Structure 1
């Protein structure tokens, strides 16, 4: 059996080499140059992943030594704690919930024993392998394991194994929030039969309460994601437009006002929506160029089977909810055939530029580089830097948010499209100073969506 600390020691040694190199002694972090800071950050990530694996293994061992059947001989009780989780939380200075998840990860990746004494693979062997290789954090492992355990009763082993493989492969390089979105999608696809009843139940939990306090109107609301998608899109579209306007003011040299925060802008957006609704003679018109797209397969539309997705909403929705939305005003249904080719854009297709943006959103899923939702992006030409040579077509366009657009423009990144249509893949090629090998990095829906 491999030394459990070997990987951690190797990672710490790599961190020291990245930080100090051939120098004698270790300089303060503030004195490190940019290249060293990047190398140190990557090494710290490796140390954290290795440390997480060791922590999970130790947590499992402590839990095993604190089993209730041990009574007074329980390790936790011997030291004055109710159970292993409370002892780990107090000893490591973490919350009880995090300690419980750590124990759960440790149990899921530990080898098991059959009744015959034969050693069996871990319950979640692919997660165990990824943690052993140092590619998966303990938080990411807990997220994946928790989802797989939730759907275990209603799904088969083959589908869960495929999902575990896909998620552990995709996790490296994703932020925790991006992985959470991917896990939510995987859960919806694994447990499709459970979606419609859940949506019906949650629809009954909706509410919006209003009351006045001092000089303010206080609003508290809970809206199902299906019904709330237009609300979220409209408010975030307003906030994005406000940020663009603020940027234009800076460029024009007119930036004397104090910039409002995002929560303040969201409050302004709600007021604007209400004023628009009360004063607008043309009802049902999307505001500020913001549209809500629900995408579904033809079979989902006609037969009521499968799942659909909504721009900006992490979790897929049921066929019934998708069919309802496809018939709603202000919603653009993107219907796909069995080859994922666009069959119909719905009755709100008006301008060619809008249709192109929606088609790019089908391929990119939002910002192809960082995965912000489509209404926070703009369509950019791949060959925009060569004046009058970039063509306005789907194969030479990409959706990017404003920061990522500047990142590509100012820092020398290249963008390439592989293939055509919705299944095309977007690749970002870093400059040599970022990655001397210039290894392409996958982006778009193929990177951030579970079923892409």
Structure 2
């Protein structure tokens, strides 16, 4: 506990040095960013210190103690209710801090031997302030769920790697990392999870106040053609808007565009007299030829986080145009030098394999363009994978306008993309990882 209190004291000192005692409106943009970072560190250290306390409250409130339970003696039905009332947190937040406290606290065997925490790497990352309790709870939940199916040594390596990758990730990036980690560690479990999700698919349609409400929940397999068709139509409109003037610009919001796209697809289906046997939608799926032939293992559908069983891909292949991620063969040239200015479809597929969508913000592949890192005209850049990067329109403008540098480490589809911030954002110019490599575990 003393070490954790030291962490709080250090975080408080950092907050004061950053200007945390000043009125926020008086801070410069740089100072405001520094104060924001200092507050984040302080919150992580406070929760790290509180987690073992919450775990001990839970231990002293276990069910077998009956009326002697600590929570019940304080007038609460459970330790979570006690913590929730004391901290003002939600039930979910209280559950997470108890879970992390129990997962990161040292144990004692029946014969009195001191044992390490159930998740020592998570414990170290939380104690250092690198991981928030929320992020730690997500990692612990994954590891505990896989404990009966995955070798302990692999889980330990995965825990170490997840703790190294997760700090600083947004919630959606963390979800993507966890989904791909689970598929990597337990590919045989993808089928069971997919069938569970598939059973929950539903679509309800009702009218209220002159509006028709569609509420849908779809598994990845069912949603693939819907999402691909709608995204393709909306992307085409957004691309047209990029160079349009105010008179020709489509002023609909993206949500309105999606609604109209779905209506257009259905209107076409009503008027279509042909049996839909031909391929009508292109879905890019990333898997090995062996997985496709055997129907075993997990595949990744472009634009989605959760994996899809290889068997489901075989079902999709009967109705949709499947583009396999078999790239760089004799039939396609992936490096063109300066013989051509525009990236080819094969090159973009290769960039999608490497970048996974927008390499900066992770927007889905259909929303992106292939851009030259060193510009074709100004810098005499080549039309090669090593000089290409997938970026959505917003990130493309932001990176160029703000002065970010991009570096590609390695060659081909396994290379790593790094974004180097300008000095006014980060004086140290510490490279930030981009592309699909952010979510790929090696354990």
Equivalent residue for 1:176?
Answer: 171
CA offset at residue 197 of structure 1? Answer: 3.4
Residue 92 and residue 342 in structure 1: after superposition, are their counterparts in 2 closer, same or farther (change >3 A)?
Answer: farther
CA offset at residue 450 of structure 1? Answer: 3.7
Contact 1:62 1:84 in 2 (8 A): yes
Contact 1:293 1:310 in 2 (8 A): yes
Counterpart of 1:403 (choices 391, 394, 411) is 394
Higher mean C-alpha displacement, 422-431 vs 386-395:
386-395
Matches of 1:398 and 1:324, distance apart in 2: 32
Matches of 2:9 and 2:247, distance apart in 1: 54
CA offset at residue 373 of structure 1? Answer: 1.1
Equivalent residue for 1:292?
Answer: 283
| 2:269 matches 1:274 | no
| 2:144 matches 1:149 | yes
Contact 2:417 2:435 in 1 (8 A): yes
Please list, as runs of the form range in 1=range in 2, the aligned pairs for 1:57-72 lying within 5 A after superposition: 57-72=52-67
Residue 200 and residue 77 in structure 1: after superposition, are their counterparts in 2 closer, same or farther (change >3 A)?
Answer: closer
Contact 2:405 2:419 in 1 (8 A): yes
Counterpart of 1:373 (choices 347, 364, 382) is 364
Matches of 1:248 and 1:213, distance apart in 2: 39
CA offset at residue 248 of structure 1? Answer: 4.2
Counterpart of 2:180 (choices 177, 181, 185) is 185
CA offset at residue 64 of structure 1? Answer: 1.9
Matches of 1:35 and 1:181, distance apart in 2: 30
User: What count of residue pairs does the alignment treat as equivalent?
Assistant: 432
Matches of 1:106 and 1:204, distance apart in 2: 34
Contact 1:294 1:325 in 2 (8 A): no
Contact 1:335 1:344 in 2 (8 A): no
Equivalent residue for 2:76?
Answer: 81
Residue 91 and residue 51 in structure 1: after superposition, are their counterparts in 2 closer, same or farther (change >3 A)?
Answer: same
CA offset at residue 273 of structure 1? Answer: 1.9
Matches of 2:149 and 2:31, distance apart in 1: 49
Q: Deviations over 1:410-449 (max 9, x none)?
A: 0111112122111111111111222223222221111133
Counterpart of 1:48 (choices 43, 52, 63) is 43
Equivalent residue for 2:92?
Answer: 97
| 2:158 matches 1:167 | no
Unaligned runs of 5+ in 1: 21-25, 346-350
Equivalent residue for 1:39?
Answer: 34
CA offset at residue 190 of structure 1? Answer: 2.2
| 2:221 matches 1:220 | no
Equivalent residue for 1:12?
Answer: 12
- Aligned alpha-carbon RMSD (Å): 2.7
The alignment's TM-score, normalised by the length of structure 1, stands at 0.87
Residue 342 and residue 274 in structure 1: after superposition, are their counterparts in 2 closer, same or farther (change >3 A)?
Answer: farther
The alignment's TM-score, normalised by the length of structure 2, stands at 0.89
Match of 1:153, SS?
A: coil
Matches of 2:135 and 2:233, distance apart in 1: 33
| 2:312 matches 1:321 | yes
Residue 104 and residue 33 in structure 1: after superposition, are their counterparts in 2 closer, same or farther (change >3 A)?
Answer: same
Counterpart of 1:307 (choices 281, 284, 298) is 298
Higher mean C-alpha displacement, 307-316 vs 52-61:
52-61
Q: Deviations over 1:193-247 (max 9, x none)?
A: 2222343454444343334445433323332211211212222333444444555
Greater length-normalized contact order (CA 8 Å, ≥ 6 residues apart) = 2
Unaligned runs of 5+ in 2: 333-341
Equivalent residue for 1:118?
Answer: 113
Equivalent residue for 1:335?
Answer: 326
CA offset at residue 3 of structure 1? Answer: 3.0
Matches of 1:332 and 1:261, distance apart in 2: 30
CA offset at residue 141 of structure 1? Answer: 0.4
